[in-house]
């Protein structure tokens, strides 16, 4: 059935050894426990990547199918197509009627969801362990064929248009956020909104949908991950039965990404008037340059250090100490291979948002020259560790984490050491990282002013 089978087992994390390498870190408690879930990775003849991870904590199983068919695949002026596909994937296939996929999972007490980002169209379900066959049957049928009447397509488009209008009405900063995306990400692939514009959605045709499905909803552009209580041999048999004979699609090229030129030494600065809101806001971002080994882990730690959690540097200073931000959010985001750091802050007036901008820039400059204290780094590591493990407490959380990891790294070779790599990030690494990536020339600021 498959080639190149690899086994992995989470080892115990030897934090004591890790800490010995970082004299800045204070003494730590007992070592963090690892989850001993073995993961098996293989590829079917048709190119479908499969990850299996057994966990018998409860008789539950989660199945995730991720297609490399996110919004970055939308062609110019066809925004919203990938998102529309998410809806249409529930509208029936050769052997399953409209919405019957949903009903079949719900009927056996399962839960299911779907999400579209710029990178993936991801479908997930969690069911009692004895229903694994049902979910694989359902998923294989819509990977193999998609049946949707013209009426269904038109209805899905109408619903998407209404949803777009409702989103825009409910979130006064959504439009400016899209505007900021255009400035920050540049090229259409990463910059356009997942939901598309009303004009784009209305113009989508049956031929567009057929071409998109044929090009991207193919086994060689998909990853199937099963996590939970199952027998490994039985799961492999079922996967072989339902997925092996689905024909591979054509070659799938990587999505395009490009950066626009910046305005000069100080980066890009724009002001925009917003009639929808009574308070001003600030969008601020940096485009990261090419990543070096270890950068991904260091950037994640920096995320926690700067903006995640109430004791992160920017939350502490802008929200609690200086009280110039009414709301502050953001962090690192990756779309179609383009990595950015972005912050959104709301203030009561423009003096406050300007102060937010200055403080953010000031803190980034400080990170270029001053070592982060051991206490601050420890706090960031703790929050990151808690979130990391928090995701792994459910079969679905673990399946999505494995899918994300496998998609971004290409394989699971180092998955077992993933947390350890975050914990190894030290103050020296961070200084080097910030100096390499946070270049003012690659900064983008969008001031949202009250009209």
Partner 1 sequence: MKDGDRTRTSACLRAAAVFLFCLCAAGLGAQERFRKAPPDPEPLSPLRLPPVESHVLTNGLRIGVAPRPRSPVAVIHVVILAGEADSPPGLPSVAALTAGMIGRGTPLLTASDMENAVDRMGATFMTDVAPDMTVFTFTCLERDVDRALGLLKTMLLEANFDERQIEGVKRTLFYDRRTKERDPEFVARRQLFRLLFAGHPYQITTYTEESVRSATRRDLETFYSRYYRPNNAIIVVTGDYSLSTVSLKVSRQFNAWVARDVERPFLPPPVPNSASRVCFVDLPSAQNAYLYIGNIVMPMTSPDYFSWLVLDQVLGGTTSSRLFMNLRETRSFAYYAFSETNFFRTSGIFWARAKVTPEVVSPAVQEILKDLENLASERLAVFEMEQAKAFLIGNFPLRLETPEEFGLRVARILAYNLGAEHWNKYLDAVMLVSLDRVLETSQRYLLPKPVVVIVGSGDQVVDHLREFESIEIYDSKGAWKQTIQKGVAK
Site for partner 1 in 30-59 (CB under 8 A): 30-36, 57-59
For the segment 304-333, give every residue that binds partner 1 (CB under 8 A). 309-311, 320
- Is 104 an interacting residue with respect to partner 1 (CB under 8 A)? yes
Residue 58 or 232: the one with the smaller Cβ distance to partner 1 is: 58
CB 84, min distance to partner 1, A? 13
CB 161, min distance to partner 1, A? 12
- Is 386 an interacting residue with respect to partner 1 (CB under 8 A)? yes
Give DSSP secondary structure letters for 364-421.
HHHHHHSPPPHHHHHHHHHHHHHHHHHHTTSHHHHHHHHHHHHHHHSSSTTGGGHHHH
| Other residues' Cβ atoms within 10 Å of the Cβ of residue 12 | 10
CB 428, min distance to partner 1, A? 22
CB 344, min distance to partner 1, A? 21
Q: Token match 């050894």: residue?
A: 17
For the segment 355-374, give every residue that binds partner 1 (CB under 8 A). none
- Tokens standing for 296? 């991904």
- Tokens standing for 337? 């291979």
Which residue of 259, 371, 389, 405 would you call a contact of partner 1, by CB under 8 A? 389
Sign of CA dihedral 232, 236, 239, 242: negative
Give DSSP secondary structure letters for 211-241.
HHHHHHSSGGGEEEEEEES--HHHHHHHHHH
Which residue of 52, 189, 384, 448 would you call a contact of partner 1, by CB under 8 A? 384
CB 26, min distance to partner 1, A? 11
Residue 166 or 435: the one with the smaller Cβ distance to partner 1 is: 166
Write b or e for each residue in 123-161: b if 16 or more Cβ atoms lie within 10 A of its Cβ, otherwise e.
Answer: bbbbbbeebbebbbbbbbbbbbebbbeeeebeebbeebb
Q: Could you give the CA distance from residue 176 to residue 165 in angstroms, rounded to a whole number?
A: 15
Binding residues with partner 1: total (CB under 8 A): 81
Which residue of 113, 245, 271, 408 would you call a contact of partner 1, by CB under 8 A? 245
- Is 198 an interacting residue with respect to partner 1 (CB under 8 A)? no
Residue 256 or 386: the one with the smaller Cβ distance to partner 1 is: 386
Which residue of 70, 110, 193, 285 would you call a contact of partner 1, by CB under 8 A? 110
Burial of 45 (0-12, 13-18, 19+ CB in 10 A): middle
Which residue of 23, 247, 261, 410 would you call a contact of partner 1, by CB under 8 A? 247
Residues forming a β-bridge with 286: 341, 443
For the segment 392-421, give every residue that binds partner 1 (CB under 8 A). 392-396
- Tokens standing for 43? 């590829």
Provide the 3-class DSSP secondary structure of residue 336.
Answer: coil
- Is 158 an interacting residue with respect to partner 1 (CB under 8 A)? yes
CB 217, min distance to partner 1, A? 8
- Is 214 an interacting residue with respect to partner 1 (CB under 8 A)? yes
* Pair 246, 219: CB distance under 8 Å: yes
């Amino acid at each position: 059935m498959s080639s190149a089978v690899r086994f992995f087992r989470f080892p115990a994390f030897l934090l004591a050894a890790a800490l010995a390498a970082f004299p800045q870190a204070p003494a730590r408690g007992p070592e963090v426990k690892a989850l001993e879930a073995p993961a098996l990775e293989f590829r079917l003849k048709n190119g479908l990547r499969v990850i299996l991870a057994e966990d018998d904590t409860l008789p539950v199983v989660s199945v995730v199918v991720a297609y490399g068919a996110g919004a970055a695949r939308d062609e110019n002026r066809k925004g919203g197509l990938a998102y529309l596909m998410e809806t249409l994937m529930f509208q029936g296939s050769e052997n399953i009627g409209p919405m019957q996929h949903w009903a079949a999972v719900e009927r056996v007490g399962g839960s299911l969801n779907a999400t579209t980002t710029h990178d993936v169209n991801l479908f997930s379900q969690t069911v009692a362990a004895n229903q694994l066959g049902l979910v694989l049957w359902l998923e294989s049928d819509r990977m193999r064929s998609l049946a949707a009447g013209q009426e269904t397509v038109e209805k899905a488009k109408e619903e998407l248009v209404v949803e777009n209008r409702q989103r825009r009405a409910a979130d006064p900063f959504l439009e400016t956020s899209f505007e900021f995306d255009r400035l920050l990400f540049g090229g259409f692939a990463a910059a356009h909104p997942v939901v598309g514009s009303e004009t784009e959605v209305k113009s989508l045709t049956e031929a567009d949908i057929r071409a998109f499905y044929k090009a991207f909803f193919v086994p060689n552009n998909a990853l199937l991950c099963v996590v939970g209580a199952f027998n490994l041999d039985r799961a492999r048999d079922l996967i072989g039965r339902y997925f092996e004979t689905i024909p591979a699609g054509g070659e799938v090229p990587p999505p395009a990404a490009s950066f626009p030129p910046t305005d000069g030494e100080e980066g890009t600065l724009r002001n925009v008037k917003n009639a929808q809101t009574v308070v001003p806001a600030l969008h601020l971002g940096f485009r990261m340059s090419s990543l070096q080994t270890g950068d991904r882990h260091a950037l994640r730690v920096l995320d926690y250090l700067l903006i995640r959690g109430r004791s992160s540097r920017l939350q502490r200073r802008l929200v609690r100490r200086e009280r110039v931000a009414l709301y502050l959010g953001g962090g690192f985001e990756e779309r179609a291979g383009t990595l950015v750091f972005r912050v959104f802050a709301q203030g009561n007036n423009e003096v406050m948002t300007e102060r937010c901008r200055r403080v953010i820039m000031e803190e980034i400059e400080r990170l270029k020259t001053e070592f982060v204290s051991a206490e601050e780094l420890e706090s960031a590591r703790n929050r990151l560790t808690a979130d990391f493990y928090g995701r792994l407490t459910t079969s679905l959380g673990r399946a999505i984490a494995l899918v994300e990891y496998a998609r971004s790294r290409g394989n699971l070779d180092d998955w077992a050491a993933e947390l350890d790599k975050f914990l190894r990030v030290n103050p020296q690494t961070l200084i080097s990282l910030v100096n390499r990536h946070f270049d003012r020339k690659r900064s983008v600021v969008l001031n949202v002013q009250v009209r």
